A and B are shown apart, each in its own frame.
Chain A
Amino acid sequence: MKVLVLIKSVPAVAGRITLTPDGRAIDTKHLGFAIGPHEECAVEEAVRIVEAHGGEAVVATLGPSQALEQLRDALALGIARAIHLVTDGEEWDAGSTAAALVDAIRADEAESGPFDAILLGNEAGDSGGYQVAVRVGRALGRPTVTGVKGLSLDGGTARCEQESEGGRDVYELRLPAVIAVLEGINLPRFPSVPGRLRAKSKPVATSQPSRPAQGLEMLRLVVPQGAAKQAEVLGRGPEAAPAVVAVLDSLGVL
């Protein structure tokens, strides 16, 4: 099997989001970068498919030079090689991202043969566009399922499970297919030290696509103002228990 996994490098925000002065990006001066949880699961799934069936797993991203770090993380987990579409840091909308990825996929397939499966996260951790998978699938003429929480490949088909009211819906796709997964489909492994060392010498092919006009043009970002709350301190340590129980009582949940 040949599997491609698509990942996006996003700021590892934690406590509170701070924006750059122009309001067009998250201030990452004090932040690292990561990929979203869905994509970590997509990487894990790609590695497992190759462990089970043999073949090659490839990772690709469109993003600024620092996204190389996230590609190396994936390589450390057992992905064989990477494709980096390097941008100048300006944001690309999901439509133009998908188009550039499709060009890169076509070029890679012309050289190294087709991918049986292309795995993605269900939605990007930051922009949450909910569309790169179906755009890639549409452009390549391949069946696409999103929201996948269970996946098994055999012979020429992919069995994909989606959570639904009261159970799971099952799709059967003929390969090659495009599959967007949700966190929970598996429990991703952590990289090993030898894995990290091997990742350093794995090949990363780079190119610089040019950014087309944006169909969905981000103008600015806004941190929503939550209701300013002043928490009531019920106490310190176990001595606070009676005060807590009084609150539970007053809220009617006791």
Chain B
Amino acid sequence: MATVLVHVATAAGTADEISLQALTFARGLAAGGDVHALVVGDEAAAATLGTWGATRVHVANHPSLGAPAPDARARILGDLADRLGADAVVGPGTESGNTILARCAARAGLPFAANCTAVSLGSPTTLTRLRWGGSLLEEAALHAGRAILTVAAHAVAATETGGSAAVEAFTPDLDEADLAVRVVDRVAAAAGGVSLADAKVVVSGGRGVGSESGFAPIEELAGLLGAAVGCSRAVTISGWRSHTDQVGQTGTKIAPNLYIACGISGATQHMAGAKGAKKILAINKDSEAPIMAAADYVVIGDLHAIVPAISAEIRRVRGA
């Protein structure tokens, strides 16, 4: 049995999905012990966490916490962990979850393990975590009296227990220094077309497309399928397309029903972003390209001839 504290990120009354996954993961770590959840400000979201397995929910209210302030969150989390005598402090494996938990560890002078997929608390704690965006796993020993870690996105599915939890509001201690790093302004983004991360179909081009203008047939096929256009890093560093289109470890993670990869070799770092695709169709002139091993369907040959032929065939079938 262990006492586990989970940092739950929320927005306007709703807990974020990856945080709920972390809460489910934390239940396993606690093994019947208390699962505490920390929420900043959001009472409405806090009230929902009992059904997701929290046994006690702590809501930190403070007049200076209206805007994100990662050092303040780390301090609140660390102070609460001390007060509860937590054996483990857990967060979601998201950009903000990783920075908050890392800051919490840095303050305490303890190690931090990001993006864990399996953890067994003990001395030492042993764990498995993602490297290379998930293309490689690391098994490690965490030598610390308190395990501080994040849970990799989708390592587990969030499951409800249907339980209930006491919700306690408190006012955390914060100093000016904890608030030095905080959001002072928000700039709205212009609404775009089909978002790559949410697209049901993605058509991507790689170095094999050859040029910026070479993407016209890819765009055409994507247009016919209502798909988003993606690309590999070879394309973005050549300046052919913006980085917002890049699929991969350092680009966007996609989860479409179908991923059509044209002239892409299938480097591990590219595939790290396409693991969520249900089906992959690879179009490549090299039948030995690594992507062939990850694909469900392949067409071998020159994409410059094949992609327009597919668009033409779609038009023909639809016209009939």
Contact = CB atoms under 8 A, between A and B. Distances in A.
- Interface extent on B, as a size class? 35 or more
Interface string A201-223: 00000000000011111111111
Please classify how large the interface on chain A is, using the bins under 10, 10 to 19, 20 to 34, 35 or more.
35 or more
A216 B144 CA distance: 9
A247 B258 CA distance: 10
B113 interface: yes
Contacts of A233: 297-300
Contact of A245 (B68, B293, B314): B314
Contacts of B106: 131, 134-135, 137-139
A80 interface: no
A9 interface: no
B268 interface: yes
Contacts of B144: 215
A128 B114 contact: yes
Majority SS at the chain B contact face: mixed
Contact of B294 (A143, A229, A248, A254): A229
Contact of B99 (A93, A134, A239): A134
B312 A171 contact: no
Nearest to B270: A14
B185 A241 contact: no
Nearest to B313: A241
A16 B313 contact: no
Given A167-B188, A217-B143, A234-B299, A147 B137 contact: no
Q: Determine the main DSSP class of A at the interface with B.
A: mixed
A253 B259 CA distance: 11
B313 A222 contact: no
B189 A168 contact: yes
B268 A171 contact: no
A219 B242 CA distance: 39
Contacts of B246: 183-184
Nearest to A180: B99
A63 interface: no
Contacts, number: 255
Interface stretch (B40-48, B56-64, B301-309): B301-309
B295 interface: yes
A166 B201 contact: no
A114 interface: no
A216 B189 contact: no
Interface in B106-147: 106-107, 110-115, 124, 126, 128, 130-144
Nearest to B288: A15
A138 B209 CA distance: 45
A254 to B, nearest CB: 7
A128 to B, nearest CB: 6
A235 B299 contact: yes
A143 B21 CA distance: 30
B186 interface: yes
B11 interface: yes
B112 A131 contact: yes
A147 B99 contact: yes
A130 B98 contact: yes
26 contacts: A14-B268, A15-B266, A16-B293, A126-B131, A130-B99, A130-B112, A131-B105, A134-B99, A147-B95, A168-B187, A169-B186, A183-B250, A187-B237, A187-B239, A216-B111, A216-B143, A218-B139, A224-B134, A229-B293, A233-B297, A234-B281, A237-B300, A238-B309, A239-B309, A244-B297, A249-B317
Interface of B: 11, 68, 70, 95-96, 98-99, 102-103, 105-107, 110-115, 124, 126, 128, 130-144, 150, 180-189, 200-201, 225, 233, 236-237, 239, 242-244, 246, 249-251, 257-258, 265-269, 279, 281-282, 290, 292-302, 305-306, 308-310, 312-314, 317-318
Interface of A: 13-17, 26, 36-38, 93-95, 122-123, 125-131, 134-135, 137-139, 143-147, 161-162, 164-174, 182-184, 187-188, 213-224, 226, 229, 231-242, 244-245, 247-249, 251-254
